[in-house]
C-alpha cells in the first residue's frame, strides 16, 4: 500500500515558465523601493531557512582603480573580513560564525561584489553587522603588508589553466585597463597603504553605484527594512568619480604566448573578438558559438574529445564585460598533443567561416539556449545570482522573456551573414602553459 504524505512545505511559489516552446518565461521578482533612489529586487522563497543578499558596487573593480593604486580593490576584497575591530579579525569572524553569517567577496575588472547568507531568525543581529562592514574599516599597516603581495607572488605557481587565461588577457588587452593584473603590479602594490584601505569604502562604495538583491522567506516590507539599514551609512555619491573605461575589442596576438610549467598536461587558452553585447550581432554570435564550442554536441567537443580522445574537456563561451565582448576557449591535453589541439581549433574556426551553420544547428542552438535556463533554477543561490546579474546589467524584470524572444527570433540567413563578415581565423590568439617547446600558431 502506498502511503501518501500531504505536501505542506514546498508549495510556495511557482516560477511561471515554459521552457520547451518559450511561450512565457517569467520570474516572480518584486521591485522594492529603498533609500534615496535605489531599488532592491526580491524573490520570496519560504522553502529556504536563509536570507540571501547580493550587493554589487559597479565601477569599483580592478580596472577602475586610480593610476598608481592598481590592485587596491583586490586588496580591499581580500582584507574585507580581516582587521575588523581594531585589527583582530578572528574575533570578528567568530561573531559572524556565531550568527551563521556567511560572507563572500568577488572582485572583477568592473565591479566589486558581496554575497551574504544567514538564517532569517538572526536577521535582527546580522543586518546591523553588515552595515558596519561598509563604514568601519580599520586595517593595520601590518595586515596590509602581509596580504598585498599574495596573488601577485603566487601567480607563477598557480593552476596552469588560470595562468594561460590571465597571460592571454594581459596580451590582448595590453594598454587598456582590462589588461592590468587585478592584483596590481610590483610598483603599485608597494605603494598600497592601510590608509588606502581605510578610505576605500567612502571613495568607492556609495548608494549611486549599488545594486542589491534579496531572496528568502522575507516580504517586501522586511526587504525594505533590511536594505535601508544597510544603506543608511553609505554616502549618496562616491568620493572618487570614475569615467567609464573605453570599449575595446581584444587585439589579436600573432605570436603564440608560451609559459613553461613542469606539468604533464598543458593548458591552452584562446580568445577571439566578438560583437558588442546587446546588439543583434551579439545574438548571432551566441547562436554560432553553440555550434562551435558551447555544448557536448559542438564541433570542437566532437573533434577533440569524442573522435580523437585528446582532451577531457574543451569549450568556448562568450564573455561579456561592460567594455568588451569576446569568445574565450580553453582545453587541456598532454604536452605532446598540444599542437593537435591548436590545429583543431583553427580548423573549426575556418570551417565555421566557410560553411556557416545549418537550419538544424540553428534550431538546436535556440532550444539549447532557452532550455538551459531551467537548470539555473535548481537552488536558491543560483536563482538570486541570476536575478542579481540581470539587475547589475540594468535589465528589466522581464529579462528572461526578452532573452528568449531575442534568441527565438534569430534567422539563419542573418547568422550566416554575420559569420561570413565577422569570423576571420587569423584573429585567433592563443596561449599555452606547460612543456610545449616547438608549438606554433597554425596557419592556413
Partner 1 sequence: MRIFIISLFLSTIVLTPIIAEQNQPNIATIPLPPAQENKYNIQSFKLPNGLEVLHIPNFRAPVIMQAVCYKIGSADDAQGKSGVAHYLEHLMFRGTKNTPDGVFNKTISEIGAESNAYTQYDTTVYYQIFAKNHLERMMELEADRMQYFEPNPQAFDSEKRIIIEEYQMRVGNDKNEQLYTMTNAAFFANHPYRIPIIGWWEELEKISRDDALDYHKKYYGPNNAILVISGDIDFESTKKLAEKYYGPIPARPTIERNRTQEPKHFQETIRVELRHQTVSAQVQAIYDAPNYRTGDQKEVLALSIFEKILGHDSTGKLYQNLVMQQKIAGNVYASFNPNYHDPYSFVLVASPKTFYDYKELEYAMHVTLKKIINDEINDALVEDAKKNIVYEMDEHFSSLSNISDFIIKGLANGRNLKDMLNFHQNFAQIKTKDVQDVAQKYFKNPPRMIAAGVSLSQLESDQ
Show the site string, 352-381: x = touches partner 1 by CB under 8 A, - = not. Answer: --------x--xx--xxxxxxxxx-xxxxx
Residue 25's φ and ψ, nearest 5 degrees, are -145, 100
Residue 86 binds partner 1, judged by CB under 8 A:
no
Rule CB under 8 A: choose which of 4, 37, 394, 413 binds partner 1. 4
Least separation in angstroms between CB 286 and partner 1: 13
Rule CB under 8 A: choose which of 30, 120, 131, 305 binds partner 1. 305
C-alpha cell at 39: 531599488
Nearer to partner 1, 233 or 296 (CB): 296
Residues 153-172 that bind partner 1 (CB under 8 A): 153-154, 157, 159-160
Residue 98 binds partner 1, judged by CB under 8 A:
yes
Rule CB under 8 A: choose which of 30, 39, 93, 198 binds partner 1. 93
- The partner residues of 258 in beta bridges, in order of sequence, read 432
Taking CB under 8 A as the binding criterion, the range among 71-79, 146-154, 187-195, 411-419 that sits at the site for partner 1 is: 146-154
C-alpha cell at 114: 558581496
Count residues contacting partner 1 (CB under 8 A)? 77
Rule CB under 8 A: choose which of 91, 244, 343, 396 binds partner 1. 91
Residue 124 binds partner 1, judged by CB under 8 A:
no
Least separation in angstroms between CB 363 and partner 1: 6
Taking CB under 8 A as the binding criterion, the range among 63-71, 197-205, 261-269, 273-281 that sits at the site for partner 1 is: 261-269
Residue 3 binds partner 1, judged by CB under 8 A:
yes
Least separation in angstroms between CB 207 and partner 1: 31
Residues 273-302 that bind partner 1 (CB under 8 A): 294-297
Spatial CA neighbour of 80 closest among 116, 45, 125 = 116
Residues 210-249 that bind partner 1 (CB under 8 A): none
Q: Are 62 and 109 in contact (CB under 8 A)?
A: yes
Give the separation between CA 223 and CA 132, rounded to whole angstroms. 18
Amino acid at each position: 500500500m502506498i502511503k501518501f504524505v500531504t505536501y505542506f512545505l514546498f508549495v510556495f511559489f511557482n516560477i511561471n515558465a515554459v521552457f520547451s516552446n518559450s511561450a512565457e518565461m517569467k520570474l516572480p521578482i518584486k521591485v522594492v523601493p529603498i533609500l534615496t533612489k535605489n531599488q532592491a529586487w526580491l524573490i520570496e522563497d519560504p522553502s529556504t531557512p536563509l536570507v540571501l543578499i547580493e550587493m554589487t558596487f559597479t565601477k569599483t573593480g580592478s580596472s577602475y582603480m586610480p593610476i598608481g593604486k592598481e590592485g587596491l580593490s583586490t586588496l580591499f576584497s581580500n582584507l574585507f573580513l580581516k582587521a575588523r575591530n581594531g585589527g583582530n579579525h578572528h574575533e570578528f569572524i567568530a561573531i559572524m560564525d556565531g550568527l551563521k553569517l556567511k560572507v563572500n567577496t568577488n572582485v572583477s575588472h568592473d565591479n566589486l561584489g558581496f554575497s551574504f547568507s544567514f538564517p532569517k531568525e538572526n536577521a535582527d543581529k546580522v543586518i546591523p553587522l553588515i552595515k558596519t562592514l561598509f563604514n568601519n574599516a580599520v586595517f593595520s599597516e601590518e595586515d596590509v603588508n602581509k596580504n598585498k603581495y599574495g596573488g601577485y607572488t603566487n601567480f607563477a605557481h598557480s593552476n596552469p589553466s588560470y595562468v594561460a587565461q590571465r597571460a592571454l588577457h594581459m596580451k590582448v588587452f595590453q594598454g587598456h585597463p582590462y589588461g592590468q593584473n587585478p592584483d596590481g603590479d610590483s610598483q603599485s602594490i608597494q605603494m598600497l597603504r592601510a590608509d588606502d584601505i581605510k578610505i576605500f569604502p567612502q571613495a568607492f562604495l556609495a548608494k549611486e553605484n549599488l545594486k542589491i538583491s534579496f531572496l528568502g522567506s522575507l516580504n517586501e516590507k522586511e526587504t525594505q527594512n533590511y536594505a535601508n539599514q544597510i544603506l543608511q551609512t553609505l554616502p549618496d555619491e562616491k568620493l572618487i568619480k570614475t569615467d567609464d573605461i573605453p570599449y575595446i575589442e581584444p587585439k589579436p596576438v600573432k605570436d603564440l604566448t608560451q609559459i613553461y610549467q613542469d606539468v604533464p598536461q598543458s593548458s591552452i587558452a584562446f580568445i577571439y573578438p566578438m560583437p558588442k553585447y546587446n546588439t543583434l550581432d551579439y545574438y548571432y554570435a551566441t547562436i554560432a558559438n553553440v555550434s562551435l564550442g558551447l555544448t557536448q554536441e559542438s564541433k570542437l567537443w566532437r573533434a577533440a574529445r569524442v573522435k580523437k580522445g585528446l582532451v577531457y574537456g574543451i569549450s568556448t563561451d562568450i564573455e561579456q564585460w561592460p567594455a568588451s565582448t569576446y569568445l574565450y576557449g580553453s582545453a587541456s591535453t598532454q604536452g605532446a598533443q598540444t599542437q593537435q589541439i591548436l590545429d583543431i581549433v583553427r580548423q573549426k574556426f575556418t570551417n565555421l567561416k566557410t560553411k556557416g551553420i545549418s537550419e538544424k544547428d540553428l534550431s538546436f542552438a535556440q532550444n539549447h539556449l532557452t532550455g538551459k535556463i531551467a537548470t539555473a533554477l535548481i537552488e536558491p543561490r543560483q536563482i538570486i545570482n541570476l536575478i542579481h546579474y540581470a539587475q547589475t546589467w540594468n535589465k528589466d524584470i522581464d529579462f528572461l522573456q526578452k532573452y528568449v524572444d531575442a534568441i527565438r527570433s534569430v534567422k539563419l540567413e542573418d547568422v550566416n551573414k554575420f559569420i561570413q563578415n565577422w569570423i576571420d581565423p587569423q584573429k585567433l590568439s592563443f596561449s599555452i602553459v606547460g612543456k610545449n617547446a616547438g608549438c606554433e600558431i597554425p596557419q592556413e
